[in-house]
Amino acid sequence: MTMKTLLLTENFPPKVGGSGRWFWELYSRMDHENYLVAAGNDPDAHDFDMAHGLQCMRWPLTLINWGITSFTSIKDYLNLFFLMRAAVKTNRIDTIHCGRGLPEGLLGWLAWKWFGIPYLCYVHGEELPTYHSSKEYKFLSQLVYANAHRIVVNSANTRMSLIAHTGIADTVRIMHPGVDTTYFMPKERDEELCRQLGWSGRKVILTVGRLQKRKGHDHVILAMKRIREHIPNVLYVIAGEGEERSFLEGLVVADHLQEHVQFLGKVDDTTILACYQQCDLFVLANREVDGDFEGFGMVLVEAQACGKPVIAGKSGGTAETMIPGETGLLVDAEWPEAIADAVVQLLGDDEKLISMGRQAEEWVRGNFDWQVLVLQAEQIFSELAQR
């Protein structure tokens, strides 16, 4: 049965972020005639939208307050509701997909109440503690999840967290984010590119992602003193921006690691791909911080697709991105010493590094390629028509 679907999501390219990338990769592979995207505003949105074939509108989905107890919030929601109503009527929308519980999910709930349109809501995991930190957010998110016709979570770990927070299980479906294995793929060592990056003659550890505490950049930096005792030419490369940058730079200076840590800042997709392909090892030393955790860890899948072994923290859903012991290692990232020992174990054994990298590529191709996951998504989406 053909359905016309509206995706509501603040997070969507060119805005950087894992969930936005997930939505782009998934919905860009769907039938463009049957999917309409209402995405958040971005300064570079016009140029981006001119370059793809998706039907995409830009709405003011970045709200200061997700609640409904202030005049400003009510005004913002009303504005979005009227935009949604016009899109629903003009495009004859049959189903709505919500990028997260708040604020998008509340709009989905309103569409169900006002127009009888079923809605699906995505849950990424890290937002749940935020929703439950406020009585108002907790009430609204529970309202959204309890009435959603389907809830899509990015990992089994996120499913367990959702059940613990809400008690909801029967409408939940697991759908891992995927990867384009024709784009994220291994490449031979390029000495000229490594020279341009400043990586010549170095053993390179890479982390890609927003600079926030739960990502664990700080503990990798703290591990570097121990790592360089065993691997003197080691270089830790950090790609991304975020609120922790000045703190992380301070750690580097304090431990005299300026020659061993490189901040790339915000980089484009081409540079990120080159970093994955030319590094030796990928690390995401994630840990739970004040209830905030890594729901899945898409960067771990991308790195493995490029033939790189990975090291990740045991927190959250990162274990589902790898075969522990075969394509990567899980460590207790609360302890820099554990991170250091894992890095030294892999970087100190070139044969093991290469072998794990090959297994990592095969694992991702068989389990996370979009050709497989799009079929799974279509099956879940079709369940809305059978409600």
- Asked whether residue 83 falls in the same domain as residue 174, the answer is yes
pLDDT tens-place string over residues 153-179? 999 999 999 999 999 999 999 999 889
Mean pLDDT of 62-86: 96
Per-residue model confidence (pLDDT) at position 236: 98
- Asked whether residue 168 falls in the same domain as residue 230, the answer is no
CB 54 within 8 A of CB 28: yes
Please choose, from the candidates 143, 177, 15, the residue with its C-alpha nearest in 3D space to the C-alpha of residue 68: 143
Please choose, from the candidates 278, 270, 318, the residue with its C-alpha nearest in 3D space to the C-alpha of residue 295: 318
- Asked whether residue 199 falls in the same domain as residue 230, the answer is yes
CB 372 within 8 A of CB 340: no
325 CB neighbour count, 10 Å cutoff: 9
- Asked whether residue 346 falls in the same domain as residue 381, the answer is no
Percentage above 90 pLDDT, the chain: 88
- Asked whether residue 89 falls in the same domain as residue 145, the answer is yes
For the chain, where are the alpha helices, taking DSSP H only?
Answer: 18-27, 45-50, 71-91, 106-115, 128-131, 135-147, 156-166, 191-197, 217-230, 245-254, 269-278, 298-305, 336-347, 350-367, 370-382
Mean pLDDT of 368-380: 92
Tokens of 129: 């503690």
Reported confidence tier of residue 313, pLDDT bands at 50, 70, 90: very high
- Residues spanned by the domain of 374: 5-178+369-386
pLDDT tens-place string over residues 314-338? 988 899 999 999 999 999 999 999 9
Per-residue model confidence (pLDDT) at position 387: 62
Mean pLDDT of the chain: 95
Per-residue model confidence (pLDDT) at position 16: 77
pLDDT tens-place string over residues 207-217? 999 999 999 99
CB 312 within 8 A of CB 285: yes
pLDDT tens-place string over residues 225-239? 999 999 999 999 999
Per-residue model confidence (pLDDT) at position 17: 77
pLDDT tens-place string over residues 128-159? 988 988 999 999 999 999 999 999 999 999 99
**Residue 272 confidence (pLDDT) above 60:** yes
- 185 belongs to a structural domain: no
- 183 belongs to a structural domain: no
CATH number at residue 278: 3.40.50.2000
Reported confidence tier of residue 78, pLDDT bands at 50, 70, 90: very high
- Asked whether residue 215 falls in the same domain as residue 132, the answer is no
Q: How many domains does the chain divide into?
A: 2
Per-residue model confidence (pLDDT) at position 1: 56
- Asked whether residue 81 falls in the same domain as residue 9, the answer is yes
- 267 belongs to a structural domain: yes
Cα Rg of the chain, angstroms: 21
Reported confidence tier of residue 295, pLDDT bands at 50, 70, 90: confident
**Residue 79 confidence (pLDDT) above 60:** yes
Mean pLDDT of 300-308: 97
